[in-house]
Every structure is written in C-alpha cells, then in structure tokens.
Amino acid sequence: MAFDITPYIHKSPAEVRALIREGKIDFPTSGMCAGYAQANLVILPPDYAADFEEYTRLNPFPCPVLEIVKGSPVTHDMGEGANICTDIPRYRIYENGIFTKEVTDASAWWKDGYVGFLIGCSFSFEEALIRAGIEVRHIAQGRNVPMFKTNIMTQKAGPFCGPMVCSMRPMTPENAKKAYEITEKMPNVHGAPIHIGDPREIGIADPMKPDYGDPVDIYPGEVCVFWPCGVTPQAAVENAKPPIVITHAPGHMFITDIKNSELNDYLEKKKHQV
C-alpha cells in the first residue's frame, strides 16, 4: 500500500514523534525528518537482556546498538524525553517467540526492569545515497523496504540465534559500487552491503517475495544490493522464545535527534567514554 511521506520530510524529529504519539502517523518512516538517524527497537524482559546485549556485540553489522534504555521507556542519548513505547508508528508483540499482534502504542506491555535496545537502521544511510544521485526504489515508489531472511547465520548468544535479515535495494552496477563506497564508512548503520548480485546465493528464492516489507520493481540491467538489517533480532527472538518481546514493526522506526552526518562520530565518542 502506498503512503505519502512528503509532509514529514522537513519536520523535526520531535514534531514527527509527537504526531506518531497522537496516532496521526501509523505508516513507515523511511524518508521522514531528512538528515536524522532512525532506529530499530527491541524491548526484552530483564532475564534476557544480558544475552541479547551479547548477541548485538557478536553481530555488530545487523545489530549496531545506538542506545540501551533502562528504568523507564524514556530515551536520553537518541532523543531527550522521547518514549520508545509511544513514539514509533507500529509495534510488534511476540509471545514465546510467536508474533501475536501489531499495535500503535506498546505502553501496556512495558514492565519494571524491561530493557530497550535502539539499533541502527539502514534508513539512515539512504539520505547519503539520494544525495549521491542514487534512486532508492522503495522511497520512489512509496513502499516499505523489502527485507529477506537469508542463509547467512548470525553468531549465537544464549538463546538468541538465527538468520541474518537483509534489506534490498535494486540499482545499476555503477550505483551499487558507489553505494558500497558510501555505506562502508557508516558501520553504526549497518555498513557496506553484504551481498551484491544473485539473491539465490544468500538463500533468497524470489526477490519479489520479501519476508518483511513490500516488493519493489527491479528494472532490466539492475542488480540486487543487500545490506544487513535491524530486523535480524526479530528472527532471533523467534528462536529464543522469551515470554514477551516488543519490537518495531518492520519499516516503522524510532526517529532520533541525532543527524546521520554526526551519528558515527557521536557513537565512537560515546564508546570511548565507557
């Protein structure tokens, strides 16, 4: 289903988060708040948080952690005073590893001791691709990005394991090379593509049938370009089977107050403060 992000391209993250909280935006956020980084979300009960944190450490490209939220669902580093339970357009609730419902407000599921992980999102590097003159097909077609479970396995931590999920953007071979050079400099939002070319080589039978998101047109002469994707934890959750997990719905992101151009330096500085 197509949707129009045009009214939200130049709004501030705080303005868009407020509209999301009010229920006025319930569709994917790709292309909103031009210039600002977006994030995936995983919220877990305390018994699972340490293993999941180790899982993100072992799998930094699909799961680059931007902020760990504890005590309350209110964020600090990625958006002072924002709320990870109300400020994302759609959430998914998993019970014992099974996706049971999609909601627009996850407040009722948050409990004392829960831990939230904001994870870097490929929507953050799309701005750089567009600036370089590379068309991002799902934005051009008003769709959610297509995402696929692959045969590339992540490294296991505790009960968390599973396939890497990749997002796909079709482009010409020339643009694919350019996109590689741009994104390899952005490790905190998934870095360089993990595969360019035949989808079957990474276990994808049909690039027009994504596991998450929407199919997009692939034109003659184009190649499929696959990046590690922050939906990977949702596949790991299905295997770990915690009693409850709250995630973003694929494509429906938390929009941060940090600019894409500043995110890498911000996170590197933060790492050295720890």
Domain residue spans of the chain: 6-122+240-273, 125-232
How many Cβ atoms are within 10 Å of 6's Cβ, its own excluded?
10
87-104 residues labelled b (16+ CB within 10 A) or e (exposed): bbbbbbbbeeeeeeeeeb
Q: What is the 3-state secondary structure (H, E, C) of 234-250?
A: HHHHHHHCCCCEEEECC
Please, what is the Cα angle at 197 between 216 and 193, to 5 degrees? 85
Strand partners, 157: 160
Which fold does the domain 125-232 belong to in CATH?
Answer: PSTPO5379-like fold (3.30.2040)
Homologous superfamily (CATH) for 6-122+240-273: PSTPO5379-like (3.40.1640.10)
**Amino acid 1: pLDDT:** 54
What the block records as the tokens of 80 is 């002072």
What the block records as the tokens of 184 is 């390899």
pLDDT in tens, 248-259: 998 899 999 999
In the chain, what percentage of residues exceed pLDDT 70? 99
**φ/ψ of residue 156, rounded to 5:** -80, 145
Euclidean distance between CA atoms 106 and 233, whole angstroms: 18
Q: Confirm if 224 and 193 have CB atoms less than 8 A apart.
A: no
User: Mean pLDDT lowest for which of 126-140, 141-155, 260-274?
Assistant: 260-274
DSSP three-state, residue 64: coil
**Amino acid 197: pLDDT:** 97
**Amino acid 261: pLDDT:** 82
Residues 6+ apart with CB under 8 A from 203: 149, 150, 151, 152, 163
Q: 71, exposed or middle or buried, with CB in 10 Å at 0-12, 13-18, 19+? A: exposed
Confidence (pTM)? 0.90
What does the pLDDT average to over 61-89? 95
Euclidean distance between CA atoms 165 and 154, whole angstroms: 9
pLDDT in tens, 1-59: 567 888 999 999 999 999 999 999 999 998 899 889 999 999 999 999 999 999 999 99
**φ/ψ of residue 3, rounded to 5:** -145, 160
